[in-house]
A and B are shown apart, each in its own frame.
Chain A
Amino acid sequence: MGTVAIIVNPAAGKDIRRLVAEASPVSDASKVGTLRRAVIGAMEGGATRVIMSGDRRGLAERAIDRLEASAEIEIMDAPAADSAHSTREAAALCRSRRVGAVVVLGGDGTHRDVAKGWRDAPIVALSTGTNNVFPRPHEATVAGEAAALVATEKVPLAAVTHRAKTIDVQLDDGENDLGLVDVVLTNDRFTAARAVWSPDGVREIVATIAEPGSVGLSAIAAAVAHQDRRAPGAVHVRCDPNAASRVRAPIAPGLYASIGLMSHHHLEAGDSVTFEGPGVLSFDGERDRTLGADRTATATIRIDGPRVIDVGRALAWASGRE
């Protein structure tokens, strides 16, 4: 009882959007500090055990260096190489270890990897990446505390969480994948530098979150429709660089672009959209899968993703104010 896990993505906040947009680099030193504060918060919240993801650069080891620990701290074995795969494995390990709550440090892409490893993980989503639509800004100290309050069952999980949506993608070759915020088909042929920063190649967007204030490709959807993260459903947008109807949207930090729109419509949970190749599928802002000519992928909206802990409500509940 009372086990909190903390998963950090060492690669988050370092991609090409620091060159092609105005995104700030997120240093390892900053991640170490954030991790340390999350551990301190988790111990304050009563966690008896804290499991931290391991990596090749020793972020967790640095974070707990000379920390007076009231909980048992365990660092997972470092993977052979730091990758999206290692984040997924860390999340899967948390599930098998019956962790009570997971603090996730990263951007939209990191949270997607966690969901791929543990679909309905109880998480505190903490933004330290580039595009942060799914995770919200919180001070890590209280984020760690909120996770511990849930993990120790001082606060009931169901009372302070909402169920995140997913966009499940079934490819025609039998592979499957998922996005949490947006799945986008672009005109690219290669995944190359992965991030998407040019609006011209964007053909279709499916977004589960289209809220005012979004930054990233889902901001294009937010410019034409509203889709709250807590409400079931999604937005499907078709783009055309030559269309007369245009919107401006912040598609990366500090980067506004004009996008031509062909159509948009609302999707209910359970509805599907079929993407047709050739093109590249990007998930939560990263080009990740090539789709050859004559190939298809079907995206379906579901509402059985991670259980997202509301930090403010968890703390309020614990203090008897909710």
Chain B
Amino acid sequence: MALDDDILFDMHRRMLRIRLFEEAAGRLFEGARMPGFIHLYVGQEAVAAGVCAALRPEDQISSTHRGHGHLVAKGGDLNKMMAELMGKETGYCNGKGGSMHICDLDLNMLGANGIVGGGVPIAVGAGFANKYRDDGAVSVVFFGDGASNIGAFHEAANMAAALKLPVLFVCENNEYGEFTSRDRSMAIADVVERASGYGIPGTIVDGMDAAAVYETALEALEHCRSGAGPSFIEAKTYRFYNHHGVQTLGLPYRPDDEVASWQARDPIDGIEARMAEAGIMTADQAAAVRAEVQAAVDEAVEFGESSPMPNPARLLDDVYTEAAQ
């Protein structure tokens, strides 16, 4: 199956860009050098990297309140991202969106979303447009297990299936919606069972293994492009940090041994070990990529910190659009 060296290097780099960008953001947040709120994606990198490596540039993605990883994986500009997180004029949304509203329409990244489940109908709308234009694009929606309890998910999934829209549903089941475990908010363990209820074929994949996610995403995207309608991937994964902020252990809602058991399956360590074993990348090469990505992240922090705050006179810019003629 089509796991050539280029794809493996590509996914490794995408995951490192997410990890190092977010850890830098986490430190800034912790040090009160960043305003607002951040929800870190660390731990789930294999899902965004594996899916986005399988996409074409014209494919859209919609994201969640934990959306940095999706934008980085789709090719987001680290400088503009870091500046946006800092609320600076040079950020993706000119500093007026922040972490949960970050987006890049040029990359067909339709936005993070502060509303749980809010990205699902947006992606289905994009899928409708793709089908209408008949341009072969697929829209992908990343959402969590908690979002699958929201009405918007169910309405959108039903519509995507009924209209046979090219939409790939990617549920990142990290077992917790904010601070509530999946088994306290759902009577089922596998969100993919909900897909069956709408007539959408789906599968479960190990969300800590980028190669597995990539291979599965390629097949699921092919299904969507063939005109057969939507498909569904449930990636079993885990966020390494708290719901928001950077705390890991010692929180009452997740047992420390559970956190540790998932951290032992770190997706970046995993791909590095497997690439080393297959003779594709040495430890030195991996370290070199890490250093290169770290330099880009450091530059993004410098760019953000040295950027100006938004001009108050532009407060109402980009709030309303001109009415269509």
Contacts and interface: CB of A to CB of B under 8 A. Distances in A.
Most buried by A among B188, B196, B257, B278: B278
Contacts of B3: 188-190, 192
B138 to A, nearest CB: 14
A190 B190 contact: no
A19 B258 contact: no
A80 B262 CA distance: 10
Contacts of B203: 14-19
Interface string B201-241: 11111000101101110011001000000010000000000
Interface stretch (A20-28, A37-45, A214-222, A255-263): A20-28
Contacts of B202: 18-19, 25
A228 to B, nearest CB: 33
B192 interface: yes
Interface string A100-113: 00000000000000
A296 interface: no
A10 B214 contact: no
Contact residues on B (Cβ < 8 Å of other chain), bracket: 20 to 34
Contacts of A14: 190, 192, 203-204
Contacts of B1: 188, 192-193, 198, 201
Nearest to B255: A80
B193 A25 contact: yes
A25 B188 CA distance: 14
B17 to A, nearest CB: 21
A190 B278 contact: yes
Contacts of B196: 25, 27
A81 B274 CA distance: 22
Given A28-B189, A56-B189, A192-B211, A290 B204 contact: no
Given A19-B220, A192-B3, A293 B279 contact: yes
B214 A290 contact: no
Given A190-B211, A193-B215, A194-B212, A292 B279 contact: yes
A198 B190 CA distance: 26
Main secondary structure of the interface of A (DSSP, over half): loop
A17 B215 CA distance: 12
Most buried by A among B216, B231, B279: B216
A136 interface: no
Interface string B66-83: 000000000000000000
Most buried by B among A10, A14, A29, A278: A14
B14 to A, nearest CB: 17
Nearest to A188: B1
Contact of B188 (A17, A28, A56): A28
B278 A19 contact: no
A193 B274 contact: no
Nearest to A10: B189
B204 A19 contact: no
B277 interface: yes
Contacts of A16: 203, 205, 215-216, 219
B261 interface: yes
A16 B233 CA distance: 9
B6 interface: no
A11 interface: yes
A47 to B, nearest CB: 28
Interface of A: 10-11, 14-20, 25, 27-29, 56-58, 80-81, 188-194, 198, 201, 278, 290, 292-293
Interface of B: 1, 3, 183, 188-190, 192-193, 196, 201-205, 209, 211-212, 214-216, 219-220, 223, 231, 257-258, 261, 274, 277-280
Given A14-B192, A29-B193, A192-B214, 17 more contacts: A10-B189, A14-B203, A16-B203, A16-B205, A19-B202, A19-B203, A25-B192, A56-B183, A80-B258, A189-B3, A190-B211, A190-B278, A191-B209, A192-B215, A193-B216, A193-B219, A201-B1
